[in-house]
Structure 1
Amino acid sequence: MTEMPSIPSVLLELIAKYLQRNNISNFQLDELTKQYAHQSRMPLYKWWNLLEEIYQQHPTPVLGHYIGELAEPHHIHILGYLALSNPDLNNFLNCFKNFQPILQNSASFSIVQKEDSFCMCWTPVVHKNSQLSNEVLISGVLSTIRKILQRPEIAPLKIEFSAIAPADTTPYPQVYGCPVIFDSEVLRLWLPLEILHLPIPSSDPYLRKLLDQQAEALLNTIPNPDTFLKDLQLLIVNMLKIGEPSAENIANQLNMSLRSFYRKLSTYNLQYSDLIKNIRSELAKTYLTKSALSLTEIALLLGYAEQSAFSRAFKHWEHVSPSEYRKTHFLA
């Protein structure tokens, strides 16, 4: 079953911030803020409708850009924490491929590299599209990249919007400082290739604390782990962040053949599938009890494509749902 297209409800903060700066009040925003105050996500169509209403109330050319540029790393949840903790932009974008559904799940994401540029691409998976929402996304991503790299001068090379062109397209090249085209089959943000390996100078204490908790949780998965098992556990945790870690990939990372890897595990009386399950279980319990991460974020950190798959697995392990477990064990 396909999940309803949705976005993090925290993004309502961007609109609230924009309206406050311009001394504008909006009843629909107030109602949505109340409605989703205790929910991590909101339907995409409500976001689109709100943007349209704001535009009708306050018709500003390229309105979505001025909302999106207010984005801070925390507006993209775990993506922001990962961004601040990665060594460079290239590493972060590899994480972004997997975690992008947190930002919005109405498009599939990919990266294309050319000789002197690279492109972040969003291919729509819903028929309808919203120019205002695309503007918020592009400007929000640009703002986040500039802030995590601490390089406000970074400029796009070209932007291709996948929505129908607005009546007046003349302000767009001036606002974005690059060529802008419309009616593209894919939403594309082109950037200089050289920024891919720029270092990310900041660190994030929240994520650092979380990673410390990860290490503690790992030590609980196997009694008295030796160097091989510690290395293996840490490798699995890192690979979970970018998807399902196959035994083949793990063996390659350890410079072992798959057969040798399985033989090595057998000396510890371990099955690979059991090891993955134990690590996921311990990390899930740590995230649920010692962090404020949403279930969607936890699912993606554990290598699940959807929250529902994580919830089913967790209930199988612990005989209660993740939400029930958090209610009775949360330590803060």
Structure 2
Amino acid sequence: MTRARAVPYALSGFEKGGLLALSEKDLGRLRAGPLAAVEARAIRNGLCWESIASDIGFDPYLYRRHDGFISARKLVDLLEHVADASRRDAEIFDEASTLQIGTLSILDYVTLCAPSIEVGLRNWARFQITCNTAVSVSFRVEDNWGCMEYGPMAQLGKHNQLSYAMATAASSRFMTLSEGIPDAIRIEIDAPAPSGQAAFLTKHLSKIQFDCPRTRILIPAKVLDEQPPRSESNLYRVVEKAALEDVTAQIGVESPLGEIVETINTQLKNGHISISTVSSALDISERKLQRVISAEGTTFRQLIEETRKSLAQHYLHDTQLSMKEICYLLGFSETSAFSRAAKSWFGKPPRLYREQVNKS
């Protein structure tokens, strides 16, 4: 292969903005699979991929590894550099919208093969950690819309290209879930509009709004009960199990919270759980436990809530346990308390949620 010209690497907003106090681990990481498309774009624009990778500091062929991840800091620098050096800041829309299914690993399949569109969208947020630990993602239904919302990205410095890529990769996949989505979808991006053009923008510009407070994708609620065209119950059970295993592995890699969550899980059925009982089980002081949890950007109460929610999803979908048994395992004193919690998590009572996620 002919070696293309190298372009000097310019430091991004990380170094310029004095954010070096935040380590690469603090900022999270993202799956490296999409880097293959970034490499193709760089070479197409006459840039030397190996030189760029060397300057930024990552393995240029990281995307060939099944377990390959790149730090958010390096990915942001890479995407901004390629856009600036090629002077084509909109190409990433077409690149992200044409990523092959499977590029995002198990996240693609657990979303596209789900029994309903709502379950698939909730899975996109639920299993985001398998591909992305840098930006939080949540899903909720309100005001006749299903809203997929990405958390703040200011800590990443200038991140226009990453926002474009995240919004486009997600929305292009969601558009395949129902014929009613492409014309009704709304895409909000927390970055200014690019100066260049792209086929994806030409086709969907009327549905995209830039300079928004957060990156969000809005899906009409009327399609959420539909079955996606790729839905397949047996395959879904396999990929969901794999996704749950991947989440467990990622929690162990990314955060010291894994052991804490496991302890909370074990103690919930005792009916009384507190930071004192958890710290005692872990053989550390309450103060140290509080420091660890705070350093991870959460609270003890939020950990209990998220653990209960995750377990409830598992028990309602993967077991035949009665509501009374699930209530006991989650540490609720009454089934009415569990029902109220389930409504806040899933937008519906636990029995109805179980019926909908288990229908084939």
Both proteins in one fold, TM over 0.5:
yes
AA aligned to 1:136 is A
When residues 142 and 18 of structure 1 are mapped into structure 2, their CA distance, relative to the original with a 3 A threshold, is farther
**1:134 alignment counterpart:** 163
**CA distance in structure 1 between the partners assigned to 2:238 and 2:323 by the alignment:** 30
Which of 112, 133, 136 is the aligned partner of 1:108? 136
**1:176 alignment counterpart:** 204
Is 1:15 the counterpart of 2:26? The answer is no
Is 1:33 the counterpart of 2:60? The answer is yes
**CA distance in structure 1 between the partners assigned to 2:181 and 2:165 by the alignment:** 19
**CA distance in structure 2 between the partners assigned to 1:209 and 1:256 by the alignment:** 21
Is the CA contact (8 Å cut-off) linking 1:73 and 1:79 kept in structure 2?
no
Is the CA contact (8 Å cut-off) linking 1:156 and 1:177 kept in structure 2?
no
Task: Report sequence identity in percent.
Answer: 16
SS in 2 for 1:190: strand
Is 1:197 the counterpart of 2:225? The answer is yes
Is the CA contact (8 Å cut-off) linking 1:12 and 1:29 kept in structure 2?
no
Question: 1:6, CA displacement in angstroms?
Answer: 0.7
Is the CA contact (8 Å cut-off) linking 2:34 and 2:103 kept in structure 1?
yes
When residues 213 and 143 of structure 1 are mapped into structure 2, their CA distance, relative to the original with a 3 A threshold, is closer
SS in 2 for 1:124: coil
SS in 2 for 1:73: coil
**CA distance in structure 1 between the partners assigned to 2:102 and 2:206 by the alignment:** 27
**1:68 alignment counterpart:** 96
**CA distance in structure 1 between the partners assigned to 2:194 and 2:220 by the alignment:** 30
Is 1:257 the counterpart of 2:324? The answer is yes
AA aligned to 1:142 is S
SS in 2 for 1:159: strand
| Unaligned runs of at least 5 residues, structure 1 | 215-239, 263-332
Is the CA contact (8 Å cut-off) linking 1:88 and 1:198 kept in structure 2?
yes
Q: How does 1:1-332 map to 2 (within 5 A)?
A: 3-19=26-42, 26-28=49-51, 32-35=59-62, 37-38=64-65, 39-124=67-152, 127=155, 128-147=157-176, 149=177, 151=179, 154-155=182-183, 157-163=185-191, 165-166=192-193, 168=195, 174=202, 176-202=204-230, 207=235, 210=238, 243-245=310-312, 254-258=321-325
Is the CA contact (8 Å cut-off) linking 2:315 and 2:326 kept in structure 1?
no
**CA distance in structure 1 between the partners assigned to 2:213 and 2:98 by the alignment:** 27
**CA distance in structure 1 between the partners assigned to 2:221 and 2:313 by the alignment:** 30
Is the CA contact (8 Å cut-off) linking 2:113 and 2:232 kept in structure 1?
yes
**1:328 alignment counterpart:** none
SS in 2 for 1:119: strand
When residues 170 and 8 of structure 1 are mapped into structure 2, their CA distance, relative to the original with a 3 A threshold, is closer
When residues 3 and 159 of structure 1 are mapped into structure 2, their CA distance, relative to the original with a 3 A threshold, is same
Is the CA contact (8 Å cut-off) linking 2:189 and 2:215 kept in structure 1?
yes
Question: 1:174, CA displacement in angstroms?
Answer: 4.1
**CA distance in structure 2 between the partners assigned to 1:10 and 1:47 by the alignment:** 12
When residues 197 and 22 of structure 1 are mapped into structure 2, their CA distance, relative to the original with a 3 A threshold, is farther
SS in 1 for 2:124: helix
Q: Give the stretch that moved more between structures: 132-141 or 59-68.
A: 59-68
**CA distance in structure 2 between the partners assigned to 1:53 and 1:18 by the alignment:** 12
Number of residue equivalences: 235
SS in 2 for 1:198: coil
